[in-house]
């Protein structure tokens, strides 16, 4: 190994020539199996695998609630299912989308070695997402009335309202957990989320059993178990970061800088939210529409939705890996590495999705037995599976492309393409086939195949036409390494920077026993690195603008309370 200095004066460790391949887009089998691509694939799998496990752990928390409440009775099961759906659609999906802005900002800042800026972005995200809790709570307060407007059973709506009310304090904890995961993911640290997720599931199962059976609290007990689990997730992950001192180089303490640049954060956060919510809401609406057909259609839709959720966790992992690898490379100024990461992750996700699709199609006659013994539901699931298999392939490619777009900061393009794909083509076709053609959920999923195919094709065309050098320059601006007016020549072949990490922390002068495969090891450079990008607001402006944001958020909550009170009196 030899040491050199990059264009910003930071010390970097250059690998020996045999370990420093020239990255090129693979052409043919030989290119696809080149050592460089295989090494990149290994790095991506090392990130995607733990992300899959972590996401599975989070998914299981709500599933456990449904399982326990399912033994209380049909009304209780329906109520909890609806309550979880309301919390996910009007709360968790919003926070997940808004936190996704960090996929761009943190990964690019970390890759560009502006490490303290990563902590400032985390602070900014905390403040913005906590403000967003107020509008979400306004909807939570009126869950019962919304469900009644949608034609739900009054008793089911009443119990669902109780469950959602107990989940109100859990929303900030869930939002903070989302931000913490982004903070760690941008540094290539995933395993703590898996460990914390396993621990939270153990706590959730234990509390459900104790509160439901020992104390006989029913749905109320399950709701408190879920809420406690959300706090446990967030608190335990925070304690892990503090214990392992992962925050040392990226956290400089709370600073007024976190009140700056809210517009640049929201310009990424709002499109990110729509990228997540458009897809999430479509499936929830599809489940509701299936219930309008008959009970068998609803049951089959519920089974396929659960299968789709679990199957999507694999491409979701690759999407996160893509945003981290691409964002880190762009922040480091290495356009060719970002291009290679993009190409390789699409190949990996496509192969995995193809295998999963083939497996599900082959098991179409038996996969329904995992969820139910109802012959009619199993038969309908079997008919939909051949349609779901290609859906999963295209959905996986679209989801992975979405990760690439988050890594490059092009969420607005993703939101537009999602809106066109789902609400311009796929969903209207699916609803028409579902009701006008009387095909039920077979028609719905046929329309969704059209949707994700057009979505994946549009994503791929856009990514193929991406000017990686220009995207790299834009990333340098976001990372606080250059201004909009600067032009830094982008070398065609920068060496791949490698770094070793102890518990995810860059420690330049210490031998590191643990390493993250294929990532950059660099020392922070203060040259050109700035904490704030763009216009700096004065103290007076900050008080006015941030005060207005707080006032508006609280006003929405107050409006929700007023609506709840008036509705109860009516």
Residues 95-112 have pLDDT tens digits of 999 999 999 999 999 988
CB atoms within 10 A of CB 552: 12
Beta bridge partners of 5: 11
- In this prediction, residue 531 has a pLDDT band, given cuts at 50, 70 and 90, of low
d(CA 329, CA 518): 11
Q: Give the distance from CA 40 to its chain's centroid.
A: 22
Mean pLDDT of all residues in 420-437? 90
Please say whether the beta carbons of 465 and 97 come within 8 A.
no
pLDDT at position 482: 65
pLDDT at position 528: 57
Is 444's pLDDT higher than 70?
yes
d(CA 423, CA 435): 17
Is 523's pLDDT higher than 50?
no
Residues 360-394 have pLDDT tens digits of 889 888 888 877 788 888 899 999 999 999 999 99
- In this prediction, residue 7 has a pLDDT band, given cuts at 50, 70 and 90, of very low
Is 145's pLDDT higher than 50?
yes
Reported as type and span, the H/E element at residue 9 is none
For the chain, domain boundaries: 35-473
Is 492's pLDDT higher than 60?
no
- In this prediction, residue 483 has a pLDDT band, given cuts at 50, 70 and 90, of low
Residue 354 backbone dihedrals phi, psi, to 5 degrees: -65, -45
Instruction: Enter the tokens of residue 102.
Output: 């960090």
pLDDT at position 504: 36
pLDDT at position 532: 65
Q: Model's pTM, two decimal places? A: 0.83
For 286, counting Cβ atoms within 10 Å of its Cβ (0-12 exposed, 13-18 middle, 19+ buried), the class is buried
Q: Up-side HSE of residue 443: CA atoms within 13 Å toward CB? A: 17
Mean pLDDT of all residues in 62-84? 82
Reported as type and span, the H/E element at residue 5 is strand 2-5
pLDDT at position 305: 87
Residue 2 backbone dihedrals phi, psi, to 5 degrees: -130, 155
Q: Give the distance from CA 136 to its chain's centroid.
A: 18
Please say whether the beta carbons of 243 and 530 come within 8 A.
no
pLDDT at position 11: 46
């Amino acid at each position: 190994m030899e040491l050199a200095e990059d264009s910003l004066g930071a010390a970097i460790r250059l690998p020996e020539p045999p370990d420093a391949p020239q990255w090129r887009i693979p052409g043919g089998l030989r290119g696809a199996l080149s050592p460089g691509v295989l090494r990149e694939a290994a790095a991506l799998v090392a990130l995607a695998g733990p992300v899959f496990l972590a996401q599975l752990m989070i998914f299981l928390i709500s599933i456990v609630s449904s399982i326990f409440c399912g033994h209380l009775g049909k009304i209780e099961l329906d109520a909890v299912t609806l309550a979880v759906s309301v919390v996910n659609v009007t709360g968790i999906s919003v926070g997940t989308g808004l936190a996704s802005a960090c996929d761009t900002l943190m990964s690019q800042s970390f890759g560009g070695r502006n490490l303290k800026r990563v902590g400032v972005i985390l602070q900014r995200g905390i403040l913005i997402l906590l403000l967003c809790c107020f509008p979400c709570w306004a909807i939570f307060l009126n869950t019962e009335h919304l469900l009644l407007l949608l034609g739900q059973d009054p008793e089911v709506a009443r119990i669902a309202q109780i469950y959602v009310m107990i989940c109100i304090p859990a929303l900030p904890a869930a939002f903070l957990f989302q931000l913490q995961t982004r903070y760690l993911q941008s540094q290539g640290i995933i395993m703590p989320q898996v460990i914390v997720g396993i621990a939270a599931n153990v706590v959730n199962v234990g509390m459900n059993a104790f509160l439901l059976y020992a104390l006989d609290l029913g749905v109320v007990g399950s709701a408190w178990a879920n809420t406690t689990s959300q706090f446990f997730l967030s608190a335990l992950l925070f304690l892990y970061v503090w214990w392992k001192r992962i925050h040392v180089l990226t956290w400089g303490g709370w600073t007024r800088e976190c009140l700056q640049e809210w517009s640049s954060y929201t310009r990424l956060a709002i499109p990110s939210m729509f990228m997540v919510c458009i897809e999430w809401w479509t499936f929830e609406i599809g489940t509701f529409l299936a219930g309008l057909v008959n009970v068998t259609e609803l049951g089959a839709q519920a089974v396929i939705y659960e299968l789709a959720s679990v199957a999507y966790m694999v491409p979701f992992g690759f999407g996160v890996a893509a945003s981290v690898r691409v964002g880190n490379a762009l922040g480091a100024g290495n356009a060719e590495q970002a291009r290679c990461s993009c190409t390789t992750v699409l190949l990996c996700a496509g192969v995995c999705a193809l295998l999963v699709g083939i497996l599900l199609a082959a098991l179409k006659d038996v996969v329904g037995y995992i969820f139910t013994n109802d012959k009619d539901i199993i038969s309908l699931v079997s008919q939909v599976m051949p349609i779901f298999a290609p859906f999963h392939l295209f959905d996986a490619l679209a989801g992975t492309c979405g990760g690439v777009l988050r890594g490059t900061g092009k969420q607005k393009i993703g939101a537009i393409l999602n809106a066109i794909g789902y609400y311009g083509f796929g969903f209207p076709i699916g609803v028409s086939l579902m009701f006008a053609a009387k095909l039920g959920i077979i028609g719905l999923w046929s329309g969704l195949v059209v949707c994700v195919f057009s979505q994946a094709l549009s994503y791929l065309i856009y990514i193929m036409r991406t000017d990686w050098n220009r995207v790299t320059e834009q990333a340098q601006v976001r990372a606080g390494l250059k201004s909009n007016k600067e032009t830094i020549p982008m070398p065609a072949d920068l060496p791949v920077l490698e770094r070793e990490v102890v518990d995810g922390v860059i420690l330049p002068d210490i031998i590191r026993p643990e390493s993250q495969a294929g990532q950059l090891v660099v020392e922070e450079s203060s040259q050109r690195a700035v904490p704030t990008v763009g216009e700096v607001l004065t103290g007076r402006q900050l008080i006015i603008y941030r005060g207005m944001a707080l006032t508006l958020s609280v006003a929405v909550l107050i409006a929700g309370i007023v609506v709840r009170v008036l509705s109860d009196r009516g």
